[in-house]
Every structure is written in structure tokens, then in C-alpha cells.
Structure 1
Amino acid sequence: MKPAAPAAVGVLLALALLALIHLPPPPPRSLLPLPASPRAGPPRAAVPASAARAYRRRLPVPRTRPRQERAPGRSRRRRGAGRDTPPWLSADDLQKMWLLSRGQVVSKTRVPAHGQVMRVGLRAVGDAEGDVSASPEGDCQDGRCGLIKRPGDLYEVLAFHLDRVLGLNRSLPAVARRFSSRLLPYSYTNGALRPIIWWAPDLQHLEDASNDQNSCALGWLQYQEMLQPRRPTVVARDAPCSSIPHSEWSRLALFDFLLQVHDRLDRYCCGFQPDPSEPCVEEMLHEKCRNPAELVLVHILVRRSAPSRLVFIDNAGRPQHPEEKLNFRLLQGIDSFPAAAVATLRSGRLQSRLLESLRLDRELWESQGGAEGLKPLLRTIDRRAQILLRHIQEHNLEVFEDSPR
């Protein structure tokens, strides 16, 4: 068979192309796959990535647990100085503690007849020059002063926290601090940790130079007469310390017994047999115990702004005072105690609350070895608390509701 002529082949190809052009189009096909879920909705328009990020920023960040459920059963805490603070420390306490621990020393004054005690003016961080008085006395009248005491008086810092934990609120704020100011002698800047106590500008002092550590002159026999149960709550106006009610002496006795502070109510050590090294023996005060009429109370102070409230100063006490020599004379004549303080002693949480409070004073905390280093001292306080509770029970003593702070 002969091959087709080229012209015939061209005609056939042209006819085939014409037939293909006139064929009907195929049925339409979907370009999207079938949805995986039968409940899928209609397709959504695409959202630019930038718009999506902006939308997410407007959404609130969900909490893992509501705020009120974070710590069920715990008392509320104020947030201060970057951490939660216990409720027994007021905002005023925290402000004064901050001034004492961080304030710049701008003046100094020796305190007559008080050895190594130095009064210093303090400038709070951030104070402008014009906000600070130009004189040391002006600083102190504005509440910007503190008393730097001896390294051996660090117990005063614990005493301040004990006062607040018990709800007494009669001692002055105190912190532990190391000083580096060029205004101070080297003995104050040699790295030793010292307590600094806030200086109350309106403490009331007697004009008698030999008795200026009292707001009123009170002897032991007068004091015991004031405590008699048949006496009115406030004694006659012409009597010494007439503005101080019975409840204040109860607070003082409880506080001094736990700390074994003898200097206020028993500076002659009449309530126990002192060691020969005790100041009351070296100064021949103990011999006066034979004549109660010669015994006087010391450091009985009030503020002019609150003449019916005692102020507890010089609270270092005796942390190592032996249990067999506890001074029960401090409790003599006291027939009732503040309810809130007694409840805290009974709660079994005195040590844990003291640790929680002392943790705020980082200098003291670290110098004592933290919780483990402080526990022996706190156990001593707790043991004295249990002895005091037994004393209250055995003598059937009452408790009274506390007055407002």
C-alpha cells in the first residue's frame, strides 16, 4: 500500500482539530478537599498574620486559678517592699523600718550617759534637699531620727517583732543594720551589725536630770497600790502616772516576762538571785531589796500624743536567762492579761509567726543563720510563754479584750 500524499494528511489533521474545538466542556470539579468533619462550617477567609497577632494581644490572659482561691484559709497579706508582709505590721511600721534600714545618715548626736548609743538623723531615699530640715533637732521632730545601739542589743529587734506578733503595739520600730557613713566613728562602721530604733519625737521626759528616763516618778509600793483590784481603772489625777490604766501594766508585765526585761519593773533584781556579774549587783542595787520603799520603776514612758499608753524602750532583755531563775516578780500584782496576746500564746504558732515576721529583716535573718539559727532563741521565748500560760491558769487570772490599735 502506498503512503498517503502529504496534502491528504494535512486535510485530515485540520478536520480533527475542528471537531475537538466544537466538543462540549467537561462538568465542573471542586478544587477543595472534602471536610474531615461532617460538622465543618463554610470555609473562612484568610486572616493576615499581623492582624491575628493584634487580636491575640487584646484577649485577656487566663489565670490558672482565681486570685481569691490561691491561698484558702490564710489571712490576707499586704504587699510591701516586693513581698507579702504579715498583717500585724502596719503600713506605718513598714515605712519606719524602711527609713531605719535604708535612710542616709545626715547628722549625729551623742546621747548623754548612754555609752555607745548614738542618735542619727536619716534622709529617706528619694527625699529632695529642700524636704529635709537643716538641723539635727529639726530632723528628729519630723520623725527622721533613730538610735543606734550596741551590737549586744540586737535582741531589741526580736523584741519589736514579738510586740507586733502579740498585738501589743507599744514598742518602737527597730531593724538590724550595718553602717558605712563617714559621719560615724569607726566603731560604728567596722561591719558590726547594730540595732537602730526609731526615735519618737514626743516622748515625755521628767525635767529632773537624774530621772529623765521616766515620764512619771513611780515607786514599787505606789505601783503595787495602783494594781489593787478594788482600785478604779484610772487612779486619782494627783497620783503619779495617773493617766496610765491597769491594762497597760498588764501588757508591760507580759512583754517583760517573755523577754526577761528587769530594768523597768525590777531593776534591783529582787525577783531572782542574780549572778555577781549582773549590773544590779555591780552597782549595789540588789542590796536595796531589803527596803521596798527605796525601790523605783525605770523607763516608764508615754508620748505626749498618747499619755495613757506606755512606750516600751530598752527591750533587749536576757535571751540566755535560765528557766530556773525566771523573774516572777515582773508579774506581781497583775490579775489580767490582754486577750489577743494570750490567744497567740495558746495557738502554738508563736514561733512560726515570729519567723515569718523576722524574715523581713534580711540583715538580722542572715546574720543569725536564718530559721535554723533563730529557732533555739524562739523556743526559749515559746517555753516562757507556756510557763506564763500555766501561771495564768493556776492563779485563775482573767483576760480582757484589747482596745483599738
Structure 2
Amino acid sequence: MAQRPWRRTGMKPPAPAALGVLLALALLALIHLPPPPEHSPLPLPASSPPGPPREAAAPPAAGQALRKRLPKPRTGLRQEQGPGRSRRGMEGGTAPWLSADDLQKMWLLSRGQVVSKARVPAHGQVMRVRLGAKGDARGDAKGDVSAASPEGDCQDGRCGLIKRPGDLYEVLAFHLDRVLGLNRSLPAVARRFGSRLLPYSYTDGAPRPIVWWAPDLQHLEDANNDQNSCALGWLQYQEMLKPHRLVARDAPCSSIPHSEWSRLALFDFLLQVHDRLDRYCCGFQPDPSEPCVEEMLHEKCRNPAELVLVHILVRRSAPSRLVFIDNAGRPQHPEEKLNFRLLQGIESFPAVAVATLRSGRLQSLLLRSLRLDRELWESQGGAEGLRALLQTIDRRAQILLRHIQEHNLTVFEDSPR
């Protein structure tokens, strides 16, 4: 039976010796073949986002592998791109601390078309804009320039606040908040604007931060104190922080637990944000050019009863959780003037945030996160350009850890996101 094919073709069966030679040659060839790769990468389909890295907890050394993978500069910063392509760039499994909701809002802020604008009272250099798809423009050719209010078009969560180019630190603050697991800041991205609805100063090519507008922020009805959800003085605040202190239900900010103030104090210390807990600069000697000196606020430090907290905000949907806004702290604030008053009265800190600070990986984690904001990354010179800034944050983190150790402070387990 085995010889029938040979007969059909009219060929003679090979001699046994010839077969032996052929088999030997085949075995020899197999022996010398290169071994297959251990992990043969298969190209992902265009519709599938890349999978997460094997070790999300072990990022590459700052400025090395990241520099090799720098994204190519975009040729059309203002061109619309398909959501699949850009979202794959944002997600990529490289920043598990960013939720699906974060990524969705970052996409809206970085790609949504400006369809209307509104002024924000008492904030001359801040513009609130509604973001939508192409062809969603409302109003006349000049756009909507009415005064902003918390109601109206922005109730569906499709608005953002465009801030000054000098406020780009707010984008870093958002990523720091997420890396530390605090999850109290509003999403923010860097963006260059080209909309004809915006004034020229907004479209001059400089990247600006745009921060998501939370439609249900709770504001006091008092026009002189509408940047707070509750009115709280410094002495009241310190009294609230005392251990086992029972706070009356009708007391200001009584719905906000101690853990929220701990998150805020840790965050503000790392960024050196003074406006919330110490807008009078009582915790350090300010320079004459500081707003707290120019506005004669610093003089009130002599009378603690006059000191109030500002930007203490919650959302109506979550009245027990603080919302961190206006997070453009002071990257150049000198180390010898760090404001420890921001930590006064705080006796415990969130465990996840403290563990991240102790890990020695804060800089590399921030680089991984910031790299997802391509506009910020490229405008700041990538890993090398951001290095000095991140080193400053890291040094403050080490000082905070030393403060925790020296004062025998504790940590608490975090509540769910």
C-alpha cells in the first residue's frame, strides 16, 4: 500500500540508503533551527485597546524607558480624531489609578469641540465652555457670552473651565491626586485651543489647563462666601479635628468626616496650596509680592478668630466628600518655607497615600500618569522637562513622612472610591 503513490507517478521508490540520508539531513536541519521566542507578540486588532502591562506596580525608571517611548509630535493639534484611537492612547492599561469615568472626562476635555462660552464672575481669566461634538454649536456666530451660573447647559456634565497657562500645575495636581488614591480632584488636562468662539488670548498656541465642571457643586447662597459649601473658621476647624470630638449635626461642615480633612492636608502640603486652609499665609513668612500680603490678609494672623477656610466644597450627590478645586499650588515654594500649618490638628493620614509616598516610586508613577496627557507631556519636554518638578514633590513627600514619624502619627484604611 505504501508504494502505490510512487507507482501512480511512474517514479521508482528511493533506495533505503537514500532514505536514510534524507532523514539524517532533516534531523540535522531541525537541530539547528533557532528556538521560538518565549512570547511571540501578536498584533492587536485595531478595535482592541492594548492590554495592561505585566507589572503595573513596577514602572520603569524615571526618564529612561519613558524617553524611548515618547509619542511622536502631533501634526494637527486641533484636528478631530476618532475616539477609539485617542482613548487607546489614554487607557493603555498604564495607569490603573485612573477610572473609566476619569478617562471619559479626560477625553471630553481634550477633544470636545467648544460650542459655547460663558464668563465666570470674579474670575476674569477663567472661561467656562460647553464641549460637544462637531455641529453642536449653539447661539450666534459670536457664541454665548452670558454670565456663568451653576444651572443651565452644564447640568449634563459636558462643561469645563479653561484657566491661565500658568495654572498648568493643576493638571499635575489631578494626576498626583489619583496616583495617591485620594480621588477628590476634578479631572484636568492640558489643551491648545483654536475655537473662533474664544478670545484671541485663549487661542495663541499656549497650552492651558481645562478642568471638568462638576454641575452639582454645592455653593452657599451668600454672595460674599459662595466659594464654600459651608462656612468654617480656623478655630472651629481645629476644634473639629480633636480626637473623639462630637460635632453637632447643625454645626458647619458637620457632614465632613476627619478622614476628608486628612486627605486635604496631605494633598495641600505636597502641592503647597495655601488658599484653602491658610489663605492668610500664617504658616510661613510670605514675600511682599504674595497676594496675602498685597491684600493685607497676613495682618489678620494676629487674631485667629478672624481666619476662615476657603474653597471647602462638596457635591450635592456626595455631601460627605470634599472636592479639591483650584489646585495650582506653588511648585517654586522654597523648602525652608514649607507651610506646616496645613498639617496642624491632623493626627492620621490615608494608608494607601502614605504607602505610595514610602515606596520610593512616586516620581515614576507620576511620569507614567502624566505621559497620558500628551499635550502636557510634549509642552513640558517629557520626562526630562518634568524631572525637577517631580523631584520637588518627592522631597516634600519625604519631609511629610518624617513629620509623621516624628509626631508618631497613624494611618487609616481608605474608604472605597
Which bracket does the TM-score occupy, shorter chain normalised?
0.7 to 0.9
List per-residue Cα deviations over 1:292-342 (Å, max 9, x = no partner): 000000000000000000000000000000000000000000000000000
1:74, CA displacement in angstroms?
A: 3.8
Q: Please say if residues 181 and 353 of structure 2, whose CA atoms lie closer than 8 Å, have aligned partners that are also in contact.
A: yes
Q: Please say if residues 216 and 241 of structure 1, whose CA atoms lie closer than 8 Å, have aligned partners that are also in contact.
A: yes
Amino acid at match of 1:116: Q
SS in 2 for 1:354: helix
Q: What is the match of residue 4 of structure 1?
A: none
RMSD: 2.7
1:128, CA displacement in angstroms?
A: 7.2
How does the TM-score come out when normalised to structure 2? 0.79
Go from structure 1 to structure 2 and tell me whether the alpha carbon gap of 1:40 and 1:102 turns closer, same or farther (over 3 Å shift): same
Q: What is the match of residue 47 of structure 2?
A: none
2:153 equivalent to 1:139: yes
2:292 equivalent to 1:311: no
List per-residue Cα deviations over 1:138-162 (Å, max 9, x = no partner): 4310000000001111100000000
Q: What is the match of residue 40 of structure 2?
A: 64
1:192, CA displacement in angstroms?
A: 1.4
Aligned 1:3-402 pairs, distance under 5 A: 31-34=12-15, 36-38=18-20, 64=40, 72-75=54-57, 80-82=87-89, 83-124=92-133, 138-232=152-246, 235-402=247-414
Amino acid at match of 2:351: A
SS in 2 for 1:320: coil
CA distance in 2, matches of 1:63, 1:37: 36
The count of corresponding residues between Structure 1 and Structure 2 is 349
SS in 2 for 1:37: helix
Percent of counterpart pairs with the same letter?
A: 83
The higher relative CO (CA closer than 8 Å, separation ≥ 6) is in: 2
CA distance in 2, matches of 1:129, 1:80: 24
Amino acid at match of 2:88: A
CA distance in 2, matches of 1:281, 1:223: 23
CA distance in 1, matches of 2:39, 2:212: 42
SS in 2 for 1:85: coil
Amino acid at match of 1:34: A
Q: Please say if residues 87 and 107 of structure 2, whose CA atoms lie closer than 8 Å, have aligned partners that are also in contact.
A: no
Go from structure 1 to structure 2 and tell me whether the alpha carbon gap of 1:72 and 1:112 turns closer, same or farther (over 3 Å shift): closer
User: Structure 1: where are the runs of 5+ without partners?
Assistant: 1-28, 42-61
CA distance in 2, matches of 1:91, 1:145: 18
SS in 1 for 2:93: strand
CA distance in 2, matches of 1:307, 1:387: 32
1:349, CA displacement in angstroms?
A: 0.2
Amino acid at match of 2:14: P
SS in 1 for 2:415: coil
SS in 2 for 1:31: coil
1:124, CA displacement in angstroms?
A: 4.1
Q: What is the match of residue 49 of structure 1?
A: none
CA distance in 2, matches of 1:160, 1:70: 22
Q: Please say if residues 122 and 139 of structure 1, whose CA atoms lie closer than 8 Å, have aligned partners that are also in contact.
A: no
Q: What is the match of residue 64 of structure 2?
A: none
Go from structure 1 to structure 2 and tell me whether the alpha carbon gap of 1:70 and 1:264 turns closer, same or farther (over 3 Å shift): closer
Q: Please say if residues 186 and 211 of structure 2, whose CA atoms lie closer than 8 Å, have aligned partners that are also in contact.
A: yes
CA distance in 1, matches of 2:219, 2:21: 87
Go from structure 1 to structure 2 and tell me whether the alpha carbon gap of 1:282 and 1:70 turns closer, same or farther (over 3 Å shift): closer
CA distance in 2, matches of 1:243, 1:302: 10
CA distance in 2, matches of 1:110, 1:80: 30
Go from structure 1 to structure 2 and tell me whether the alpha carbon gap of 1:281 and 1:76 turns closer, same or farther (over 3 Å shift): closer
Go from structure 1 to structure 2 and tell me whether the alpha carbon gap of 1:209 and 1:138 turns closer, same or farther (over 3 Å shift): closer
Amino acid at match of 2:178: R
1:243, CA displacement in angstroms?
A: 0.2
1:193, CA displacement in angstroms?
A: 1.1
1:33, CA displacement in angstroms?
A: 3.0
Q: What is the match of residue 19 of structure 1?
A: none
